[in-house]
Amino acid sequence: MIYLDHCATTPVSRQVYAAMAPYLTEEYGNPSSKYYGQAVRAREAVECAREQVAGLIHAKPEEIVFTCGATESNNTIIKGIADYRKYYERRGDHLITSRVEHHAVLNTCRFLNGEIYSNDDDTFTLDQSHPTVDRGFSVTFLDVNAYAQVETGALEAAIRPGTTLATILWGNNEIGSLNDIVSLGAAAQKHGVFFHSDATQVLGKLPIDVRSLPVDALSFSAHKLNGPKGVGALYVRTDEFGLMPPFSSLMHGGEQENGIRGGTLCVHNIVGFGKAAELAASHLENRLERMRALDREIRGLLQSNKNIELLGDPEHHIPGIFSIVVGDTFFNNEQFLKQIGDEIAASAGSACSAGEPSHVLQAIGRGRQTGQVLRLSLGPDSKASDVEALLARLFPR
Ligand SMILES: Cc1ncc(COP(=O)(O)O)c(C=O)c1O
C-alpha cells in the first residue's frame, strides 16, 4: 500500500505505541486521584507529556492544555475568548477569520455568527436564504490570494473597535500554503486583538518557537505527527505572572486542566502525544531536510507533466503537500481514488470535507475544478516512486 494521505492522519509510531501500552494495562490510575502509587504515576506521566509537547514548541508546560484534538482546541479558544470578552469584559463582539480555514474553525465562527444552528442537512451549506440566529457575534471572513493566503493589510483593515479575536490558519491542510503568521500575529496584537492560529498541519513538520512568535494561542492534534487519534493540545501564552488570559470554558466539569477542560484525562493518549512530540523534536531538522529534498524532486516531476497544474505557494508551503489539478475536465477525482484505493491512498481535498465542493478551492477561484483536484501528502518515509506510481495510474501509457 502506498500512503499519500499524511495530512489526513499518520501511523502511530512503534515507540509511541510502546510508551502508551502500560497506561492501557497495569498503570490504569486516574491522575486526579490522590493517595496511591498508580494515580501518582499517572499524574507524573501526564506532566511528563506536557513537558514534551511544550518542548516541541519552546513553550512552558503550564501553557499547554490537553484536549481531544485540534477541533476541540479551536472550539475552546475561539468560543472561550469570544464569550469572555463580550459578556464578561464587554470589550466587543467582532471576530476575524479567513475563508480557507479548516471546518473546525470555519464552522465554529459560523456558529457564533448565527449561520449554523442545528445539525440538519443545511448545516454545512452557506445558504443566503437560510435564517440566521442572533448569538451576538459578528464575524469577518477574510478573502485570500491565489495561494489561499491572508494578506496582512486585509487583516488590519478588518480590525475595528470591538474586534476581540483573529484566528488564521498557519498551514493550509488542502493545498499546503503557509500564512505569514509572524506578520499577521504582529498586526493583530498591535491593535490589542487576541491572535490564535490553527497550527495542526505545521506541528512536527516545521520549527515552532513560541518565544519569538507573536501569537496568543495555537491548536494541535497528535495524530498528524505519528501520535494517537483523539488527543490534541491548546497552547495559550501566559503572562509574566504565569497566568493565561481569562476565557470561558467549553467543557464544564471537574478541576482537570485548571478547570479549563473538565473530564478525566485520557492518560494513554496524552502519553502517546508526549512521546510523539519528543520524537518529532529530536527528528525535526533531519525530517525537514529530507522533506525539502523530496518536495523539490516531486515538484519537478509534477511540473514536467503538461496535464497537471500545481496549486499553492511554490515557496512558502509545507514540504510534501501537493494539490494538483488534472487538466482533463471530465476527470472525476472520487472515482479515480476509489479505483486505485486498494493500492494507493490519497485524497480529493481534506478528509473532513470529502464529497463537498472545496471551500478552499472556491476561495481561490477554483471551485469549479473541485472534481479535478487530488491532494498528495507525503511523510518522511515516502519516495518519489510513490508519486510516480500514482501518475502511472493517472496517465496510463
Ligand atoms: C488544519 C487542521 N485543523 C484541524 C483539524 C482537525 O483535527 P482533529 O480532527 O484531530 O480534531 C485538522 C485535521 O485534519 C486540520 O488539518
Instruction: Summarize pLDDT for 249-289 with one digit per residue, the tens.
Output: 999 999 999 999 999 999 999 999 999 999 999 999 999 99
Q: What is the predicted pLDDT for the residue at 115?
A: 83
Among 278, 302, 332, the domain-final residue is 278
Segments forming the whole domain that contains residue 93: 14-278
Say how many C-beta atoms besides its own lie within 10 A of residue 199's C-beta. Answer: 27
Given the DSSP bridges, would you call strands 217-221 and 194-198 parallel, antiparallel or unpaired? parallel
Percent residues over pLDDT 90 in the chain: 91
368 and 264 in a common domain: no
pLDDT of amino acid 221? 98
Q: Which residue has the cell 470555519?
A: 106
Q: What is the CATH number of the domain that holds 100?
A: 3.40.640.10
- Same domain for 235 and 299, yes or no, is no
Co-location of 316 and 213 in the same domain: no
Q: What does the alpha-carbon distance between residue 371 and residue 230 come to, in Å, rounded to a whole number?
A: 30
Asked if 70 and 220 touch (Cβ cutoff 8 Å), the reply is yes
Residue 369's pLDDT is 94
Instruction: Tell me how many domains the chain contains.
Output: 2
Instruction: From 216, 258, 268, select the one nearest 85 (Cα to Cα).
Output: 216
Distance 232 CA to ligand 1 centre (A): 10
**From the alpha carbon of 351, which atom of ligand 1 is closest?**
14
Choosing from 173, 196, 358 the residue with most ligand 1 atoms within 8 A of its CB, the one to mutate for a pocket test is 173
Query: Do 158 and 254 have their domain in common?
Result: yes
Q: Residue 122 — pLDDT band, cuts 50, 70, 90?
A: very low
- Does residue 334 share a domain with residue 226? no
Greater confidence, 62 or 133? 62
Same domain, yes or no: 186 and 305: no
Q: Are 361 and 374 in contact (CB under 8 A)?
A: no
Which of the residue ranges 23-37, 125-139, 144-158 would you say has the lowest mean pLDDT? Answer: 125-139
Long-range pairs for 59-65 at CB < 8 Å and ≥24 separation? 59/210, 59/235, 59/237, 60/238, 60/242, 62/238, 62/242, 63/210, 63/235, 63/236, 63/237, 63/238, 63/244, 64/233, 64/234, 64/235, 65/233, 65/234, 65/235, 65/236, 65/257, 65/258, 65/260, 65/261
> How far apart are the CA of 221 and the centre of ligand 1, in A?
7
| Protein residue with least CA distance to atom 13, ligand 1 | 8
Mutate to test the pocket of ligand 1, among 67, 98, 102, 168 (most ligand atoms within 8 A of CB): 102
Q: What is the pLDDT of residue 397?
A: 86
Ligand 1 centroid–CA 110 distance in Å is: 17
Query: What number does the ligand 1 atom closest to the CA of 71 have?
Result: 11
Contacts of 189 (CB under 8 A, 6+ apart): 195, 214, 216
Local confidence band at 119 (pLDDT 50, 70, 90 cut-offs): low
Please choose from 5, 71, 323 the residue to mutate so as to test ligand 1's pocket, defined by most ligand atoms within 8 A of CB.
71
Per-residue pLDDT for 351 more than 80?
A: no
Rounded Cα distance, 36 and 38, in Å: 6
Same domain, 274 and 346: no
Average pLDDT over residues 314-321: 98
Residues 267 and 310 in one domain: no
pLDDT at 124 over 80: no
Query: What CA–CA distance (Å, rounded) separates 228 from 6?
Result: 13
Specify the ligand 1 atom closest to the Cα of 173.
16
* pLDDT confidence band for 235 (50 / 70 / 90): very high
Q: Copy the grid coordinates of residue 128.
A: 443566503
Please state the atom number of ligand 1 nearest to the C-alpha of residue 350: 14
232 bridge partner residues: 67, 221
Coil, strand or helix at 3: strand
Quick: pLDDT tens for 27-44: 999 999 989 999 999 999
- The CATH number of whichever domain residue 376 belongs to comes to 3.90.1150.10
Ligand 1 atom with the shortest distance to the CA of 70: 11
Mean pLDDT, the chain, integer: 94
Atom 10 of ligand 1: nearest residue by CA position: 69
C-alpha distances in Å from residue 169, one per residue of 49, 77, 147, 249, 271: 25, 14, 13, 22, 27
C-alpha–C-alpha distance, residues 275 and 377, integer Å:
23
**Is residue 66 pLDDT above 70, yes or no?**
yes
Gap from CA of 257 to ligand 1 centroid (Å): 21
Q: Which long-range contacts (CB under 8 A, 24 or more apart) does 252-261 make?
A: 254/32, 255/32, 256/32, 257/65, 257/66, 258/65, 260/65, 260/76, 261/65, 261/66, 261/67, 261/76
Q: Which residue has the least CA distance to atom 4 on ligand 1?
A: 70
Average pLDDT over residues 377-397: 96
Place of cell 481531544: 68
CA distance 361 to 131: 26
Given this model, what pLDDT does residue 120 score?
A: 52
171 and 223 both lie in a single domain: yes
DSSP characters for 64-133? Answer: EEEESSHHHHHHHHHHHHHHIIIIIS----EEEEETTS-HHHHHHHHHHHTS--SSSTTTTS--TTS---
DSSP at 214: -
Neighbours of 249 (CB within 10 A): 17
CA of 193 to the centre of ligand 1 (A): 24
Which residue numbers are catalytic?
A: 352
d(CA 363, CA 377) in angstroms, rounded, equals: 21
Average pLDDT over residues 138-160: 98
Query: Are residue 243 and residue 352 in the same domain, yes or no?
Result: no
Among the residues of the chain, which ranges form H helices? Answer: 14-20, 37-57, 70-83, 103-113, 152-158, 181-190, 267-303, 333-340, 359-363, 384-394
Report how far residue 82's alpha carbon sits from residue 252's, in angstroms, rounded to the nearest whole number. 17
CA of 70 relative to ligand 1 center, distance in Å: 5
What is the per-residue pLDDT for 118? 58
Chain-centroid distance, C-alpha 303: 27
Q: Are residues 377 and 236 in the same domain?
A: no
How far apart CA 256 and CA 176 sit, in angstroms, is 35
Q: Which residues line ligand 1 (CB under 6 A)?
A: 69-71, 102, 104, 173, 198, 200-201, 221, 223, 232, 350-352
| Residues 297 and 271 reside in one and the same domain | no
Which residue among 262, 278, 294 closes a domain? 278
Q: Do the Cβ atoms of 76 and 126 come closer than 8 Å?
A: no
DSSP state of 31: T
> Which of 240, 258, 278 marks a domain boundary?
278
